[in-house]
């Protein structure tokens, strides 16, 4: 329950100086009083329009999903979609959003269908100019990379969506990482918040701390940002070698192990017992941060590769922990690459997008929670 206590300017200033997070005003866009349980996916997918279509939103409405987090990025195959190490073309000063033209069009369609089906939208900035092709941030010391390009994108989006009730929050940067992540945390994240607030005082802002929005490392030294209507987010894929088995650096047979069981978090970790208690232990820093500062927590991404043995058990355990802590969440993923898709079975080919048409054990876990959602009417 949000406090409605009146306090003097002097008292408010004292509390802010002491690091206390003040409750946001009720005006504008209030955070829903009910739990948000939804889907995380991409805006641009291989449909007829090239974007999330009405069939996607119709399906979400059937499941009673009430929020969708969507990835906003530099357009694929545009001049700014470069490979790592290649020079990045300058952005026209008179058209700074040109590198995002298709994504802007797609976001408009997403919001239009979300309004029709009364589903909240959380745009999340993935690849900004300068980041694409070098997601791991392998740039040179002294180079601040793409961080300075983040705030201008949000200034534009904030002007466009500040009065759009369906756009609940802005997730200002997905999984900041690399050895320059402190530059983002200590300078550019706050600058981005301040520049959004200069044009949009009402829409909530979601902050993912570096590195990688991890529940343990990212929440070790984190301090709240200045401002109100701030939400803090982490992504959950622990143990990583289990949830990502068969892809990336986890293709070897040694990583094909069931949950719960003796598993490695990353490829260089020693195996240990991963069960529900271990999942909770890995979230301990987030739990303590929320208790200390009284902030909202949003699990922006979590998921498990669909062919992992025990994937439905892992999913159930993770969501039970989110629910017990009162956290909102969006599952990754549906309608994009189907390796994560709960409508595809473990035996379906690991290619394609869209709806797989299967009522899998993973989907049954998810729909069991989505049906508890507050009515979208």
Domain definitions of the chain by residue range: 31-240+297-370
CATH number of this structure's domain 31-240+297-370: 3.20.20.80
Task: State residue 183's pLDDT score.
Answer: 80
Please tell me the least confidently modeled range out of 82-91, 128-137, 267-276. Answer: 128-137
What pTM did the predictor assign?
Answer: 0.90
CA distances to 122, 290, 302, 366 from 298, rounded to whole Å, are 11, 11, 11, 17
Which of 77, 76, 75, 57 minimizes the C-alpha distance to 67? 57
Question: Residue 92: is it exposed, middle or buried by C-beta count within 10 angstroms (0-12/13-18/19+)?
Answer: exposed
pLDDT at position 101: 97
Classify strands 296-302 and 272-274 as parallel, antiparallel or unpaired.
unpaired
Q: How far is CA 217 from the centre of its chain?
A: 17
With vertex at residue 217, the alpha carbon angle to CA 211 and CA 219, rounded to the nearest 5 degrees, is 95
DSSP line for 165-206: TTB-EEE--SS--STTHHHIIIIIHHHHHHHHHHH-SSSEEE
Lowest mean pLDDT segment, chosen from 143-157, 271-285, 361-375: 143-157
State which of 9-13, 27-31, 174-178, 340-344 shows the largest mean pLDDT.
340-344
Q: Is residue 173 within 8 Å of residue 130, measured between CB atoms?
A: no
Of 7-16, 24-33, 313-322, which one has max mean pLDDT? 313-322
Burial class of 281 by CB neighbour count within 10 A (0 to 12, 13 to 18, 19+): middle
Pseudo-torsion of CA 321, 336, 59, 374, nearest 10°? 30
Say what angle helices 189-199 and 150-161 make with each other, to 10 degrees.
30
Q: How many CB atoms lie within 10 A of CB 6?
A: 6
Strands (E), 203-305: 204-207, 230-236, 261-263, 272-274, 296-302
pLDDT number for residue 376: 55
Alpha carbon distance 160, 168 (integer Å) = 13
**Inter-CA distances, 249 with 104, 255, 262, 267, 268, Å:** 33, 10, 18, 8, 11
Residue 182 has pLDDT above 70, yes or no: yes
pLDDT tens-digit readout, 286-327: 999 999 999 999 999 999 999 999 999 999 999 999 999 999
Cβ-Cβ contacts under 8 Å for 375 (sequence gap 6 or more): none
H or E element: which one contains 39? strand 37-42
Is the pLDDT at 4 greater than 80? The verdict is no
Residue 173: closest CA among 140, 135, 200: 135
248 by Cβ neighbours in 10 Å (0-12 / 13-18 / 19+) ranks as exposed
Q: Tell me, what's the pLDDT at 14?
A: 30
Q: How far is 76 from 103, CA to CA, in rounded Å?
A: 9
Q: Average pLDDT in the 147-176 region?
A: 95
> Given this model, what pLDDT does residue 236 score?
98
Residue 229 confidence (pLDDT) above 60:
yes
Residue 5 has pLDDT above 60, yes or no: no
Tokens of 153: 């994108």
Place of tokens 């208790």: 291
Alpha helices in 233-283 (DSSP H): 240-243, 276-282
């Amino acid at each position: 329950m949000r406090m409605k206590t009146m306090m003097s300017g002097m008292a408010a200033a004292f509390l802010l100086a002491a690091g206390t997070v003040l409750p946001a005003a009720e005006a504008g866009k209030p955070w829903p009083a009910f739990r948000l349980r939804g889907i995380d996916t991409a805006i641009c997918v291989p449909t007829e329009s090239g974007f999330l279509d009405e069939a996607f939103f119709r399906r979400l409405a059937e499941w009673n999903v009430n929020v969708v987090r969507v990835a906003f990025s530099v357009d694929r195959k545009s001049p700014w979609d470069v490979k790592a190490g290649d020079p990045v073309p300058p952005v026209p000063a008179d058209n700074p959003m040109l590198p995002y033209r298709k994504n802007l069009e797609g976001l408009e369609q997403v919001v239009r269908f979300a309004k029709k089906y009364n589903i909240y939208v959380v745009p999340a900035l993935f690849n900004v100019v300068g980041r694409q092709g070098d997601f791991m941030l392998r740039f040179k010391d002294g180079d601040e990379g793409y961080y300075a390009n983040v705030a201008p994108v949000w200034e534009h989006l904030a002007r466009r969506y500040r009065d759009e009730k369906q756009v609940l929050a802005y997730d200002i940067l997905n999984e900041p990482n690399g050895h320059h992540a402190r530059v983002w945390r200590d300078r550019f994240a706050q600058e981005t918040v301040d520049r959004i607030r200069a044009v949009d005082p009402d829409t909530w802002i979601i902050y993912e701390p570096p590195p990688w929005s991890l529940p343990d490392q990212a929440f070790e030294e984190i301090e709240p940002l200045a401002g109100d209507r701030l939400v803090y987010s982490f992504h959950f894929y622990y143990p990583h070698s289990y949830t990502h088995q068969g892809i990336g650096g986890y293709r070897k047979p040694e990583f094909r192990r069931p949950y719960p069981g003796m598993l490695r978090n990353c490829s260089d970790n020693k195996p240990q017992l991963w069960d529900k208690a271990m999942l909770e232990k890995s979230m301990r820093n987030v739990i303590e941060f929320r208790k200390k500062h009284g902030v909202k927590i949003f699990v922006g991404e979590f998921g498990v590769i669909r062919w992992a043995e025990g994937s439905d058990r892992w999913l159930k355990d993770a969501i039970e922990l989110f629910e017990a802590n009162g956290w909102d969440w969006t599952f990754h993923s549906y309608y994009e690459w189907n390796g994560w898709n709960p409508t595809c079975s473990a035996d379906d080919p690991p290619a394609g997008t869209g709806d797989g048409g299967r009522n899998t054990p993973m989907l049954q876990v998810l729909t069991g929670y989505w049906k508890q959602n507050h009515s979208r009417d």
